[in-house]
Chains A and B, each alone.
Chain A
Amino acid sequence: MTAVKPFSLAKSRRTIQWMVVIGTLVIGLRHIMPGEASRGGSFDSFCAFGGIETILPFLFTGHTLKSTNLLNFSVQLGTLGVSLVAGRAFCGWLCGLGAIQDFITQWTRKFIGEKRHIRGRQSTAIFPLRLPSILDHPLRYAKYLVLTVVLIASLFMAFPPLRDFCPVRAVFGLHMTALLWVTLAVFLAGSVLVERFWCKYLCPLGATLAIFNKLSPVRLVLDNHHCNGCGRCDIECSMGIADVPHHLDHPECVRCMECLNTCAVNGSLILIYEKEKK
């Protein structure tokens, strides 16, 4: 008789993240093939943030920005659907850039000397760093500024405002310009230095989805009788949220479920579906 392997949420997430990365690379590859560029729209028309970039021009003029098309709204609707149900789970599970950043963190730790990361134990690798809160806290508001600038700029531009600096195009687009090479270098360096650098400080899509953490019915709750305050979840939190058990609906949480996965005491963190918060 063969033993059934226990379910691992972390392995499921890694598998899904790899599938997203490969899928996005295939879309990027398809668009550099001769004669394929215009089929189904450009690479940008598959972008989850493209729908937000082009919504205001579409509402006011009836035209989407160049390089985007109506498919962007469907992709955006899918993203909002996940967020309505489970908060920022798109960022933690289905975003290609989030996946790449998680992989970079893992590889950086290995490369710098941590042979095997023990879950719930502070990493011995120097990088990625955790910025001191005096710097980290104000920088987290930068993404809301980026979102505001993008929304205003979209009214005056022909192409999506972020197009020339978009890290998704830099990583997956395979159609590089000088600006995209710079973006790629900044993105890679940032991700090596700070875990989930882009998500924490600059991602305008994350800024849009943050509010859904307060509204979504599928979420984690804490059972105070079980939690012993060991802090393992704080160590594993890739978004660097302090005191995770008491901030389970934090707007910065990407619902990656690493806290649940790491929790040493069964029943401390419980995944629930609840329409109205108590």
Chain B
Amino acid sequence: MKIHPRYYPAIIITAYVIFLLIGILLGFGPERGGAGHGRSALMQFTAALEGLT
């Protein structure tokens, strides 16, 4: 499907904003301070697998 070049800037800005918002909605939002957080994703994944078995 052909796209008119005038829509190109809107396409990339929209893609950026949508994916940025998805990230923030998933919980990857701004926070005070620097490093943080509890269990690693791998540890959580292992725990979830153990829970299933």
Chain A complexes with chain B: yes
Q: Which residue of the partner chain A has the closest CB to B33?
A: A38
Within 8 A of B (CB), among A49-99: 58-82, 84-86, 89-90, 93-94
A171 contacts the other chain (Cβ, under 8 Å)? no
Contact of A84 with B32 at beta-carbon distance under 8 Å, contacts A58-B41, A271-B5, A273-B1 already known:
no
Q: How large is the interface on B (under 10, 10 to 19, 20 to 34, 35 or more residues)?
A: 35 or more
Do the beta carbons of B41 and A62 come within 8 Å of each other? Answer: yes
Minimal beta-carbon separation of B12 from chain A (angstroms): 5
A40 contacts the other chain (Cβ, under 8 Å)? yes
Do the beta carbons of A272 and B1 come within 8 Å of each other? Answer: yes
B contact residues around A274 at 8 Å (CB): 1
A contact residues around B37 at 8 Å (CB): 58, 62-64, 70
A contact residues around B42 at 8 Å (CB): 59-60
Do the beta carbons of B31 and A71 come within 8 Å of each other? Answer: yes
Instruction: Name B40's contact: one of A41, A58, A75 (CB within 8 Å).
Output: A58
B contact residues around A225 at 8 Å (CB): none
A126 contacts the other chain (Cβ, under 8 Å)? no
Contact of A16 with B20 at beta-carbon distance under 8 Å, contacts A84-B15, A218-B3, A271-B3 already known:
no
